[in-house]
Amino acid sequence: MPTTRVLNTGGLNLYINPILTGNSLIRAVNVTSEPYGAKSKRSGYTTYLGTPDTAQVNSLFSWTKDDGTTLYTYRASGSVLYYSTQGTGTWTVCGNGTIGASAKVDTTVLNNTLFIADGVGTLRYTTSGTDFTYGSLAPVAVSLNMYQNRIYATGTSSTLFYSTTGDGTNWNTSGTSDSSSLTIPGAGKLLKLIKASDRLISTKNSGLMYRWDGYNLVDTATELGPTSGFAVARKEGYYMYLNRDGIYGFGGGKPQLLSNPIQQQIYNNSGSGIPGAVFDSANRGIHRYDYFVSAGTVTDEFTSQTISNAIIKYDFNKNEFLNYRFNNYPTAWHSYKDANGVQQLIVGDASGQCYQISPSSTTDNGVAIEVSMEFFFTGEAPELEKKFDFLDLYFNPGNEAQVMVAIGDTFSNAQKKWIPVGDCSEGHTEFKFPAGSRGRFLFVKIIEASKTATFKFYGYAVTYEFIKR
């Protein structure tokens, strides 16, 4: 009578033949891999500052001045840009803080000066952090980046502008000023400026990408660039972003597909992946080694289970995908180092409220976090029936998880008859299957929705015997 132990639970894998996935999950909502090989309930969040208006928060960003101690956090909601001193002060309207209605704001810094662009009004800047000045002769810009001691700005079509060397406030093109512009060819309009391998990369909403070194413009010969400029995030010079074909990584060469394990959530034959409009407007966050993208409502073809307001989470340290679902769907993300040097993650929602992720919070601002995990077991012999005898499950003591099992010969959800396993709060649960428990597949579902208990799932063991044909 063999016993199979699975003590290293991986992430989502909906791409490979499901019978071959072994220790992967077919559903994983609101869990994270801490410690590695286990699954824990994600952290919750609390409110971050107040609500100066009830308009959707479209952008969040921060700026720490060169003195290393003066910090401002910013939010763009409705048609107003607000700041908070040291990230704890009340949201206050910035001087010249009127922006385009529902605009998203991009930023960069040069010479202790913060520059912002909203794609509607002229580029503006601040040295105080609180009051902005419109740049004389500056372009209307969608995206900004500092490169070779200049400010580069993408226009609203296909023109890439750059400022005078060393002075992002000077856009003159005559005399001692050397501002200028160039046209980025090809289909589509300019989207996001990124800087990789000491080159400036201009992306277009058609997926085209061009490399600029200050002298030469080179077509990177790809159409796999980002489709939303605000779905692009960087960690140590490596970029991640959403494209209609998947989530890609980019380090300056060719884009690299990362999202094979969850391709069915991005696109599938049923058309139930990421909604089409989301690709052009998706927001992202990056915090420590996690990349997040707000993906809308998705249904993968394999499980046929829908995740509303889904967040795709990619841990690029572990090369692992999972799903989150916040009670308040994020419309903006930002990770920053606070005044005490602690890395913080904040998000904004459609109601105008911002939230701060808190490792000590077990709720989403008072609302229970609903955990859902599902996996299945074949004994590496999917063609044979098994008589299932015992299921051992390993959790942290004091958890409030509920576990259900189902046995069947197909993957049809309609044919699964779920049986509760019983109390798992002691940390180890030994479940003896009822007499006659036989079938080719064993399905296990774990759910948890407490407001106070922690949750860690360490693994399981199945004892069974093969039934000869």
pLDDT digits (tens, 9 = 90+) for 331-349: 999 999 999 999 999 999 9
Q: What is the mean pLDDT of residues 79-96?
A: 97
pLDDT in tens, 406-458: 998 877 777 789 999 988 999 999 999 999 899 999 999 999 999 998 899 99
Handedness of CA 130, 136, 139, 140 (dihedral sign): positive
Pairwise CA distance, residues 146 & 17, whole Å: 45
3-state SS, 231-274, equals HCEEECCEEEEEECCEEEEECCCCCEECCHHHHHHHCCCCCCCC
pLDDT in tens, 243-263: 999 999 999 999 999 999 999
Q: What is the mean pLDDT of residues 81-95?
A: 97
Residue 280 phi, psi (nearest 5):
-90, -10
Lowest mean pLDDT among 16-20, 188-192, 261-265, 310-314: 16-20
Pair of tokens at residue 345: 């993650």
What is the maximum alpha-carbon separation in the chain? 91
**What one-character DSSP code corresponds to residue 449?**
-
Pairwise CA distance, residues 51 & 83, whole Å: 12
What's the half-sphere exposure (Cβ side, CA atoms, 13 Å) at 146? 16
pLDDT band at 303 (very low <50, low <70, confident <90, very high): confident
User: Residue-wise over 366-384: b if at least 16 C-beta within 10 A, else e?
Assistant: eeebebbbbbbbbbeeeee
23, 9 Cβ separation under 8 angstroms:
yes
Nearest C-alpha neighbor of 332 from the set 40, 73, 132: 73
Residue 282 phi, psi (nearest 5):
-60, 140
Q: Residue 196: its pLDDT value, please?
A: 94
Q: Residue 18: its pLDDT value, please?
A: 65
Domain ranges in the chain are 3-42+371-467
The dihedral over CA atoms of 66, 336, 47, 354, expressed in degrees to the nearest 10, equals 90
Residue 442 bridge partners (DSSP): 377, 407
Whether residue 139 has a cis bond before it, omega within 30° of 0: no
Q: How far apart are the first and last CA of the chain?
A: 17
Lowest mean pLDDT among 269-273, 368-372, 404-408, 432-436: 269-273
Q: Exposed, middle or buried by CB within 10 Å (0-12, 13-18, 19+), for 291?
A: buried
pLDDT band at 269 (very low <50, low <70, confident <90, very high): confident
Nearest C-alpha neighbor of 181 from the set 216, 219, 142, 155: 155
pLDDT in tens, 6-41: 888 888 888 777 676 556 788 999 999 988 889 999
Pair of tokens at residue 11: 């992430």
pLDDT surpasses 70 at 215? yes
Q: Residue 61: its pLDDT value, please?
A: 98
- Kind of pairing between the strands at 419-420 and 402-408: antiparallel
With a pLDDT cut of 70, the percent of the chain lying above it is 99
Pairwise CA distance, residues 148 & 166, whole Å: 9
Strand boundaries in 166-206, DSSP class E: 180-183, 190-196, 199-204
Nearest C-alpha neighbor of 347 from the set 335, 337, 359: 335
Residue 380, helix vs strand vs coil: coil
Quote the mean pLDDT of the chain. 94
Pair of tokens at residue 225: 């660039």
Residue 428 phi, psi (nearest 5):
-125, 125
Q: Residue 21: its pLDDT value, please?
A: 58
Contacts of 455 (CB under 8 A, 6+ apart): 40, 41, 371, 395, 396, 399, 400, 401, 448
Instruction: Tell me which amino acid residue 33 is.
Output: S
Q: Which CATH class is domain 3-42+371-467?
A: mainly beta
Nearest C-alpha neighbor of 180 from the set 204, 201, 197, 159: 159
pLDDT in tens, 383-401: 889 999 999 999 999 999 9
